[in-house]
Amino acid sequence: MKISLVGNPNSGKTSIFNRLTGLNQKIGNFPGVTVDKKSGLLKTSKGSHHILDLPGTYSLYAKTQDEQIVYDILSDPTHADYPDRIIVVADASNLERNLLLFTQVMDLGLPVILALNMSDIAAKKGVVIDYEKLSEVLGGVKIVPVNARTGQGMDQLIAETVSEDSNIPGSSFIEGEFEKGHFLITDPHRQKQLVEERYRKINNILKFVVRQEPTKRSMLKRQRMADKIITHPLLGFVLFLGVLMVIFQAIYAWAEWPMDLIDTLFLSLSQWVINNLPEGVLTSLIAEGIIPGLGGVLIFIPQITLLFAFIFILEESGYMARVVFIMDKIMRPFGLNGRSVVPLISGVACAIPAIMATRTIENWKERLITIMVTPLMSCSARLPVYTLLIALVIPNQTIGPFKLQGLALLAMYLIGLLGALLAAFVFKWIIKAKQKSFLVMELPYYRMPRWNNLAITLWEKVRLFVFDAGKVIFSISIILWVLASYGPGDRIQQAVDKIPEPVTQEDVNAYEKKVASVSLSNSYIGILGHAMEPAIRPLGYNWQIGIALITSFAAREVFVGSMATIYSVGENFEADETLIQRMRKEQNPETGKPVYNLASGLSLMVFYAFAMQCMSTLAVVLRETKKWKWPLLQLIYMTAMAYLAALITYQILK
C-alpha cells in the first residue's frame, strides 16, 4: 500500500514520519526537480507499506517548487507515487489553518485519515476539541489524536491507516473544487475565493467543535515575552551574535580533534598498505589514491554533523524563524533573504555543510544566490594558506595594540565577506526569478527540540554528503593522484636518475625529498604548472606556485603540503630548514629578487580568498542544484574574480 503524509510545515509531520518508519528511510529525488524525496517503510504484522513524506504545504495550491510536488502527485492518478491512503498531519493548537489543507485533501475523494498532533500545546492554550463531533461534521473521516513527541496514539494511527475500511470521506467539504485525480479550478482568482469560502466554513464548524477554556494564557504570554527579547533591535542582534559565536567556535574547535583523528587514521592506513603490500602500481593507487580520496570525503563529516546539529536545534526550537525575521531587511538589498544568514556565516567554517543548509530557503533565486556566493566566505581550509603566507610576507610588527599579522588575517576574512556580498549583488541582476521574493512565514512556538529526531536528521545529512557529493570528490581525487604521479613517457624516471645517489645514511632523507620534488614537477600536473607560468606571471607567481594551485584544487590546505614537496622540505615547521625559510630564499632567476615578497604574497592570499579551489564544494553545489551549469559557472566566476583581484593587487604593489 502506498501512503502519503501531507501537512503544514511545523505540524510535526516529519516526527510522525520518523515514528512510522524508524530507520527504514531513504532519500531520493523527485525526477527533474531539486526536491528531496523522503520515503520509508512501515512494517506491520500484516506486511510493509511504502510511506512518502511529502513536502510541507499550507494549501494544495502550490506557491513553491516543493509545494508543487504535492500538487503534482495528488492530482495525477498515473503518477508513480500516487497514494492509496493519505495521512494528513494537523496541528491541533492551530486547527483553523490546518483544516484548510485537510479539507482540500479530503475533497480529493481518496481514503484519508486526520492525525491531530500537538494536542499538548492545544491543551495549554485551553483549546478543547470534540473529536467525535469534528469527525461527524467532516463527513465521518477518521480522526486520530497523536503526540509525535511521546508516540501516543501512533498504534491507533497505524491501525486505522492500514485497515481495510475505505476511509473515503462521505461527502465533499466544498463541492466542485477537487475531484479524485482532478483539480477542477485553475483560475487563481477563483482559487482564492474558494480558499476564503473554506475558511469561513471551517470557522463556523469550529464554533461547535472547539471550546475555549479559560486559561491564564500564561503560555502565550511567555511566548510573546520571548519574542519581545529575541526580536529586540539591540538584544536580538547581540543574542544572535552570541549564538553564532558558539556555533562558529564549536565547528572550529570541536570538529578539530575528530578531523585530526580521521586524518591520522587514513595516513596510517596508507602507510600500512605501503609497508605490507608488494610495491607496484596497485599498492600505490590504493595507498596514495584511494585511501586519501576516501579520507578526503570522510574528513568533512565532523563539521557537517556539528553544523547540522546546531541548525536542527535552531530550527526545532523556533529560534531560526526569528533570525530570519530580524535579518531579512538587512539581507534583502543583496538579493538574499533572512534565511541566507546561517549558510553564509557557516561558510566561515566550511562551505560544504553551509551549502547543504541552504535548503531552508524556499525561494529558488535567493537560495541559488546564497549557494553561489557562500564559498567566498573564508573557510577554515584557507587558514593554513593564510597563516603560511602571512608569516612569510607580513612583517612581525605591531600597530598600536594590534599585531600587523593579526590585522592581515582579519582583513582576509573581511575581503571574503565583501566579495560574497558584492557577488550576491551582481547575481541578483543575472539570475532570473521564477517567483517574486516574499517572506510570509509562520513564527512557530518556542519549544524543546525533539531529540529523537536529531540522530535521524544528522544521519540523513551525512549520508547525502558521503554518497552523493562523495562520489564526485572521490573520482576527482583519483584523477588528481594519477596526474600528480605520472608523467609522459619515462620523463619522471629520467629526471630522478639525474639526482646524485645518497652516499651516507644521513643523505637518504634529503634524497627522498628531492625525488618527491622532482617527480612532482615532472608529472602531468608539474608540466601543467610549468605551462601555466606565463598566465600567472602577471600575478607574481612562478611555476612552483602553479603546481600548488592545481594540487590544492583537491582542498585548499593541500597548498602547504605541495609547496613543502616542491621545495623538498618536510611539512614539519620545527625541522632544520622550514618551508618559510626555504620560500624566503627563492629568487626570481631574471631579476634576482625574492619571489615571495609583499606584492606576490598578498596577491596569492587574495587569489585564495576568491578562487574556487575546492572540488568538494563544487560536488555539493552540483548535488544541490542538480545541474552542471551552476558549479561550472561558480568555478569560472570565482576563478576570474580571483585572477583579476590578484592581478590588481600584484600590479599595484610590485
Residue 146, SS3?
Answer: coil
CA 73 and chain centroid, separation:
27
Q: Can you tell me the distance from the alpha carbon of 362 to that of 520, in angstroms, rounded to the nearest whole number?
A: 46
438 binds another protein (CB under 8 A): yes
Choose which of 306, 321, 349, 602 interacts with another protein (CB under 8 A).
321
Segment (H or E) for 143: strand 142-145
Choose which of 207, 216, 436, 498 interacts with another protein (CB under 8 A).
436
Choose which of 18, 94, 161, 519 interacts with another protein (CB under 8 A).
94
**Stated length of the chain:** 654
Q: Can you tell me the distance from the alpha carbon of 139 to that of 159, in angstroms, rounded to the nearest whole number?
A: 20
Residue 55, SS3?
Answer: coil
φ/ψ of 38, rounded to 5, equals -95, 120
Choose which of 131, 325, 486, 573 interacts with another protein (CB under 8 A).
325
Stretch of residues binding another protein (CB under 8 A), selected from 69-77, 92-100, 137-145, 296-304 = 92-100
Nearest to 174 by CA among 229, 109, 230: 109
Q: Can you tell me the distance from the alpha carbon of 331 to that of 373, in angstroms, rounded to the nearest whole number?
A: 13
Cβ 414 to another protein shortest distance, Å: 23
Burial class (CB in 10 A: 0-12, 13-18, 19+), 612: buried
Cβ 343 to another protein shortest distance, Å: 20
Stretch of residues binding another protein (CB under 8 A), selected from 109-117, 195-203, 509-517, 618-626 = 195-203
617 binds another protein (CB under 8 A): no
- Residues contacting another protein: total by CB under 8 A: 41
Nearer to another protein, 438 or 459 (CB): 438
Choose which of 90, 100, 118, 388 interacts with another protein (CB under 8 A).
100
Stretch of residues binding another protein (CB under 8 A), selected from 224-232, 395-403, 489-497, 553-561 = 224-232
Q: Of residues 450-489, which lie at the interface with another protein (CB under 8 A)?
A: none
The vertex-430 CA angle with 425 and 432, nearest 5°, equals 115
Nearer to another protein, 325 or 486 (CB): 325
208 binds another protein (CB under 8 A): no
CA 487 and chain centroid, separation:
37
φ/ψ of 108, rounded to 5, equals -70, -20
Cβ 326 to another protein shortest distance, Å: 5
Beta bridge partners of 403: 398
Nearer to another protein, 244 or 647 (CB): 244
**C-alpha dist (Å) from residue 379 to 341, 351, 488, 610:** 15, 7, 36, 11
Nearer to another protein, 170 or 233 (CB): 233
Cβ 436 to another protein shortest distance, Å: 6
x/- contact string, 48-87, with another protein (CB under 8 A)? ----------xx-x-x------------------------
Cβ 76 to another protein shortest distance, Å: 21
CB atoms within 10 A of CB 470: 23
Q: Quick one: cell of 492? A: 619522471
| 507 contact partners, CB below 8 Å, separation of at least 6 | none
| 437 contact partners, CB below 8 Å, separation of at least 6 | 332, 337, 363, 365, 366
Choose which of 227, 460, 468, 533 interacts with another protein (CB under 8 A).
227
Q: 589 near 582, Cβ under 8 Å?
A: no
Choose which of 93, 340, 485, 562 interacts with another protein (CB under 8 A).
93
Nearer to another protein, 206 or 290 (CB): 206
Long-range contacts from 623-630, C-beta under 8 angstroms, 24+ separation: 623/464, 623/468, 623/469, 624/34, 624/355, 624/356, 624/358, 624/359, 624/371, 625/34, 625/368, 625/371, 626/29, 626/33, 626/34, 630/368, 630/371, 630/372
441 binds another protein (CB under 8 A): yes
Nearer to another protein, 200 or 629 (CB): 200
| 239 contact partners, CB below 8 Å, separation of at least 6 | 229, 230
228 binds another protein (CB under 8 A): yes
Q: Quick one: cell of 70? A: 504535492
x/- contact string, 175-194, with another protein (CB under 8 A)? -------------xx-xx--
Choose which of 329, 403, 585, 593 interacts with another protein (CB under 8 A).
329
Cβ 6 to another protein shortest distance, Å: 14
Choose which of 76, 442, 460, 533 interacts with another protein (CB under 8 A).
442
Stretch of residues binding another protein (CB under 8 A), selected from 82-90, 95-103, 409-417, 584-592 = 95-103
Cβ 595 to another protein shortest distance, Å: 50
Q: 7 near 15, Cβ under 8 Å?
A: no
Nearer to another protein, 118 or 390 (CB): 118
Nearer to another protein, 125 or 382 (CB): 125
Cβ 554 to another protein shortest distance, Å: 43
Choose which of 84, 132, 175, 196 interacts with another protein (CB under 8 A).
196
Residues interacting with another protein, by CB under 8 A?
A: 58-59, 61, 63, 93-94, 96-97, 100, 125, 188-189, 191-192, 195-196, 199-200, 220, 224, 227-228, 231-233, 236-237, 321, 325-326, 328-330, 435-436, 438-443
